[in-house]
A and B are shown apart, each in its own frame.
Chain A
């Protein structure tokens, strides 16, 4: 397995190179430049021209790409034109925020989704199953941004129960107040996103539980007089988790992808909002690095899912 994992990682290298090339060329093909957006009546086009030159933005794309690669191998991801600080610093700031929110969402998704899926499967076609299925259909049908807008309106502005923007209170001082403030700020967007993203987990799990319930090994166990509780715990649950494990890798690596809608509506400065702004401002250095990171995370997600599946299901071997 290790050999295969190593080989898969090696394959990622040309994939990432091709991805970086495509992103680099497409980013440069976008109209505009990083400096035009901040012109004012006193701006000197000669100075803007000078800044473009200093930053090598007039060089042919392959030369710019080569410079970028050379810097990359020196650990320098470049400087954001918009924020005027190193991309690594920006990524650390925004990545940390996204990580908090992303982990919270993933945990909540599984905390909500797993019991609901099992419960619905166990009580197939009974009232709880109908209610849970209705919940998943509704959450699947309503666009997330609508939920977020209504959520912030009711719970944050209407009932004043949650903060409306930012990742931490400006007045939070000290370790525990800061931790509490961070949780307080991600609680509402995190819960809303999690509540409206559980459809896959619930539906996969439900159908797997139903399948497992009717499988021979369950029938045998029941015939042997094993209590249903034990059957669920030791047989059905583990087998039903296989499809969930198949996309667990994506869920883990997807934590850093950012939640564009939640970040926009809650003014939460994470990776999603950074990506969106970078495109608007033609912040090439940030765009390129973020797309590469997102691409890498996706590739890693695939690999991780395969590994998890192999660990969970003895029948699957990564070869």
Chain B
């Protein structure tokens, strides 16, 4: 997917069962592997069912919001239920999320002129037949940066576009960094930057917005009121293979082919996408109510879903990961920088590493997650094939090494627990969010292992915290209630981690700062990094360095998977992430009823 896939904050996607079976033997083998699962499925036989309805489930426990305009969406549910409309997607991408030609528009980066020229294809039209124009490419930037916007997308990276900062603060009424070689109704937009970044070549980067918005249709609606406007909620237009036929607010959307779509003619006559609660999703597939689902199916349901006849499980690595973070300092609100405190309780690298070596997450995930989630080895998930370092060992269980690391750092046992090198007692507070019974069992296992190591680790507040409380505590500029925490990020399709772990990143909740970290992350987007192999090297080096420092340690990767009914043709889960319109325009059905 070329856009941001949001963090449902607090959704640590761990799910497993009881942990009693997790032994204490050393497991020095390689990090766990995901379940073998195909990423595509295509029913054999002619597409005889194309005149029927493709039924898609949106697994979610709340109604979707109903915002169809991609630039205003801040959640995965709206993206999913409006995705047959193409999610206003501007560019095609390859499997590495690199922007390629052939989509609604092509882009040409010019490093010397510091420009990006975006050219729309000649047959680019909205689903009402009107032309997609250069102004439609520019309008999302106005929506994002407008001072009255309800969008949360504006970030400092946009200030690389000339005139963007002035528009954002209200000093200018237009953004000077956009020019229209063929006029606003033409097919070309040139974006002028103050500096060029290698990330610009990839979808989901934070410099170039990857969707369009129908300016002519929206221009009379104040930007502050766009999210509630009928043009966005009731009568939206789309650029993708299907157009909205009807919708029931918060419940379902219904789609028919869009004859103005620029790509190959969509094959299925009718598509419905309906919200189904996570508790009922497996039963819904058992009773053949849906062909496939949009959000990933729960990992705990893997065996049940696999056993359903007439379906095939299809999945790809998710654009997300779970991680442990350690509180090492504070965020200086005056300077806007993270600062590591010299005497931070978790400041000793050996202590952090020892805590990680004490956990046998490989065995835990192998045993309990059915391969749908597995022990992560780096902070770059494997969905980023070219940047993910599969050989990086990560932290594998080794209790004796954990003990020796503590002793080497001067920690001594006094009775049951280790005390600090200065002799003071050591109580470590572990902050986690409430989740499924399974994830809470994993937290208990982690406590058990740390106790076995001899560390007095306790839950902050004595139990897992409600999500809002967790983030309120963690995001305070300075806090001492959480020493180690477990959380998760869903990522954009451009993996530069600066906004999570940079010195000035407010989401660097552990406040880890080092010159080398800053340098490695800067290297990912310096001018040399236009050379792909150099950039890959920087990503590899950063993953290695972060593992060594153990300030943030990955704990979980997962698959995004779904059962697919055996009547569906050309289902490509990877295409879902990469080029949404193609995902939908390829789909076909071999029969009018589910198999």
Contact = CB atoms under 8 A, between A and B. Distances in A.
B63 A51 contact: no
Interface size class of A (residues with CB under 8 A): 35 or more
Interface string B126-161: 000000000000000000000110101111100000
A282 interface: yes
A40 B466 contact: no
A287 B154 CA distance: 28
A227 interface: no
Interface string A241-257: 00000000000000000
Interface in A132-190: 149, 152-153, 156-158, 160, 164-168, 170-171, 173
Interface in B30-72: 53, 61-63, 65-67, 72
A54 B170 CA distance: 14
A86 B230 CA distance: 12
A152 to B, nearest CB: 7
A32 interface: yes
Contacts of A51: 150, 152
A41 B489 contact: yes
Contact of B277 (A42, A44, A165): A165
B475 A43 contact: no
Contacts of B469: 31-32
A215 interface: no
Contact of A44 (B154, B249, B254): B154
A170 B274 contact: yes
Contacts of B471: 32, 36, 39
A267 B152 contact: no
A93 interface: yes
A269 interface: yes
A265 B468 contact: no
Contacts, number: 166
Interface in A26-47: 30-33, 35-47
A220 interface: no
Contact of B62 (A45, A79, A277): A277
A38 B468 CA distance: 11
A260 interface: no
Contacts of A168: 248, 251
A166 B274 contact: yes
Nearest to A173: B246
Interface of B: 4-10, 53, 61-63, 65-67, 72, 74-75, 147-148, 150, 152-156, 206, 227-228, 233, 246-254, 270, 272-277, 279-280, 283-284, 286-287, 289, 466-469, 471-473, 475, 489-492, 497, 499-500, 506-507
Given A40-B5, A85-B228, A282-B468, 8 more contacts: A41-B507, A83-B65, A153-B283, A157-B283, A165-B276, A170-B246, A171-B254, A269-B251
5 contacts: A39-B7, A40-B490, A165-B284, A264-B61, A267-B276
